[in-house]
Structure 1
């Protein structure tokens, strides 16, 4: 367990590589600002930019809860009951096992800050798509 502060800056954090369209990552720019690899934590703080038309398709995490905050833009939250409009200022919490996602249906970028509580990596999160696959950056587990 880390016993000291961890600090980075977004300019120093690379984009996550290997996120596949087949796993629901459609034209997303994702950064893991704080995670197990960088800070030794079982949580993730992330930053995502969804260009117009980009989407994080329906997925769930078996091993962690997730939140996201819409900092800029608008689109639709993917819920178990279909699509719901979303815009700047929305805060969404999805407990483990809850289907969720986000589509940018606008002509402007959507910027999300998000976090996983209980998992420090995609592999640890128990990421699944509706087809029942377990996925991570770079392919299947």
Structure 2
């Protein structure tokens, strides 16, 4: 029988070990629901990007991603360059699509996001332009 999973944001620690070299620049990330906590084959996350923070260009080979800008503004990183973004934007990136987000403002950007089809970073097939060029992943 299936069982509901429930938590609170205060009970979920920040994700540790996110590397700057992998495009995680000064981000505060929480995996609110994932494989480890709930046995889920998806992730629901919360991210705060302080002024100047960025989640550099990356893609996921094994899952789709969405994010919603709850607070702040900046630029969405796309395969074609940068596009302005603000509170209320809803973005969907299918698997294999380059994406990211830069906080170019003087206030925090808050995102809620999800990966559909992967319950962890490892399962998502996370790649950066550097890892693709170097054949690391």
How many correspondences in the alignment?
134
In structure 1, the gaps of 5 or more residues are 134-139
Q: Which residue of 2 aligns with 1:37?
A: 36
Q: Which residue of 2 aligns with 1:111?
A: 110
Using the alignment, how far apart are the partners of 2:19 and 2:7 within structure 1?
Answer: 26
Q: Which residue of 1 aligns with 2:67?
A: 68
Q: Residue 6 of structure 2 aligns to a residue in which SS?
A: coil
Q: How does 1:1-141 map to 2 (within 5 A)?
A: 3-133=2-132
The CA deviation at 1:131 is 1.2
1:23-78 alpha-carbon deviations (Å, 9 max, x no partner):
00000000000000000010000000000000000000000000000000000000
- Choose between structure 1 and 2: higher helix proportion: 2
Using the alignment, how far apart are the partners of 2:79 and 2:96 within structure 1?
Answer: 11
Q: Residue 132 of structure 1 aligns to a residue in which SS?
A: helix
TM-score by length of 1: 0.92
The CA deviation at 1:132 is 2.6
In structure 2, the gaps of 5 or more residues are none
Using the alignment, how far apart are the partners of 1:132 and 1:11 within structure 2?
Answer: 34
The CA deviation at 1:5 is 1.1
Report the aligned-residue RMSD: 1.2
Using the alignment, how far apart are the partners of 1:4 and 1:90 within structure 2?
Answer: 32
Which runs of structure 1 show a deviation greater than 6 angstroms over 4 or more consecutive aligned residues? none
